[in-house]
Amino acid sequence: MQNFHRVAITGIGVVTSLGIDKDEFFNNLLLGKSGIDLISSFDTRDFAVRIGGEILDFDPSLYLPKKEIQRMDRFCQFGVIASMFAYNDAKIKLTDKEKEDFGIIIGSGIGGVSTFEKEYRLLIERGPSKIGPFFITKMIGNMASGQAAIFLGAKGYTSDPVTACASGTNAIGDAFKLIKYGNEKFMIAGGAEAAVTPLALSGFAAMKALSRRNDTPKRASRPFDRDRDGFVLGEGAGVLFLEEYEHALSRGAHIYAEIVGFGASCDAYHITLPDPEAKGASKCMLKAIKEANIDPTDIDYINAHGTSTSANDVTETKAIKKVFGKHSYELVINSTKSMIGHLLGAAGGVETAVTALSIEKGFVHPTINLDNPDPECDLDYVQGGPRKINIEYALSNSFGFGGHNFSILLKKV
């Protein structure tokens, strides 16, 4: 019989529009602050959408050598710096031998899109000889995990799942399994994205996926609200340091929460729309609950995918009702995207970090801008302000284009 290993979260690193210190970030969430505003990094006068969750005054030179910064796309900088934060937060110094069993999985939905845009302009305007030597290595999505592995010396399983908006949760689930089954002892996992760019913004706007509340940007992201009109594009990174639970105990590590379940499924329905019957979304939650060997009624809190789009919010609500029945109305549910927008491949990493912090601190943040709840979204989404709650078990959901569904289940220590 296989001996399974328990998995502890002992480090958290975030880079967001509401702060790059995990405690500052979480406190701003509890206060209901919005990190969404008019985009300032490029001229949006000709754009239908002019708002986003940008990280302002971000200075990578505070954390990385200038020579290395030039070799990284913005998403990669986010991912590497968040990984360093998580490693330092874990207060661990791995030996060379231990680093052989140390891996990094950082998902990204789009990767180095700003580099792609810049280099393509050079090609068109000045010719092929002007393309930079680091174009390819800055653009490809695996470089956040690859560069973080170089900086931290991680020589174990290192990868980059690309499952659109579910990439970060996909990464954490994969890392959880690697430790659980004894393949690795230490993992950094999460997501990184920097897609608040002209091309990406235009593409999502062309799909009619984005909110067009340009006059009131801080009120634009409104998950589960009757008047929602699309998501708001955000950027950032969220990663966790994971280690074998007994090892964490033996060194006296601070444990935020334990990962006890992971569920994955595919709708196999449509490239962008969720299955309206919510079969896939409910299935991944049930799988996570089954792996944890608990009853659905044991769950206290769900950090929802909650995008502020017409289809997602109704479908996710329906999925929760399928899984939890009457208990759905006792669950506490919120959407972090209401304050920082949708970070695409980084969303699940940041939101799992929020779930762990909520368990540890005993507070959940509000879903802001929920003024007129959609009649089809009739659960408790934490309106008005933060709420004190004892959380024993919590789920974090992520659903991505292509029908990818992932749920992570955390337990209070």
Q: How far, in Å, are 137, 240, 340 from residue 176 at the CA level?
A: 28, 11, 26
User: Could you report the per-residue pLDDT of 201-257, keeping only the tens digit for each?
Assistant: 999 999 999 999 999 999 999 999 999 999 999 999 999 999 999 999 999 999 999
Active site residue 247: no
**Helical spans, DSSP H, in 153-276:** 167-180, 198-206, 245-250
CA distance 139 to 119: 10
Q: How confident is the model at residue 3 (pLDDT cuts 50, 70, 90)?
A: confident
Q: What is the CATH number of domain 262-411?
A: 3.40.47.10
Is 305 annotated as catalytic? yes
Instruction: Give the distance from CA 398 to its chain's centroid.
Output: 8
- The predicted model scores a pTM of 0.97
Distance CA 135, CA 169 (A): 28
Reduced to 3 states, what is the DSSP secondary structure of residue 40? coil
The total number of residues shown for the chain amounts to 413
> Which is the catalytic residue, given 76, 165, 284, 377?
165
User: CA neighbours within 13 Å on the CB side: how many for 7?
Assistant: 31
Do 8-250 and 262-411 agree at the fold level? yes
User: Which residues, including other chains, have CB under 8 Å from residue 213's CB and lie 6 or more apart?
Assistant: 51, 219, 220, 229
pLDDT digits (tens, 9 = 90+) for 345-360: 999 999 999 999 999 9
Q: Catalytic: 342? A: yes
Instruction: Report DSSP letters for 59-81, one per residue.
Output: -GGGTS-HHHHTTS-HHHHHHHH
- Pairing outcome for strands 102-107 and 186-194: parallel
- 5, 76, 284, 342: the active-site residue: 342
Mean per-residue pLDDT, 396-401? 98
Task: Answer whether residue 1 shows pLDDT above 60.
Answer: no
Choose the catalytic residue: 5, 247, 305, 365: 305
Residue 71 pLDDT more than 80? Answer: yes
CATH architecture of 8-250: 3-Layer(aba) Sandwich (3.40)
pLDDT value for 366: 98
- For the chain, the structural domain boundaries read 8-250, 262-411
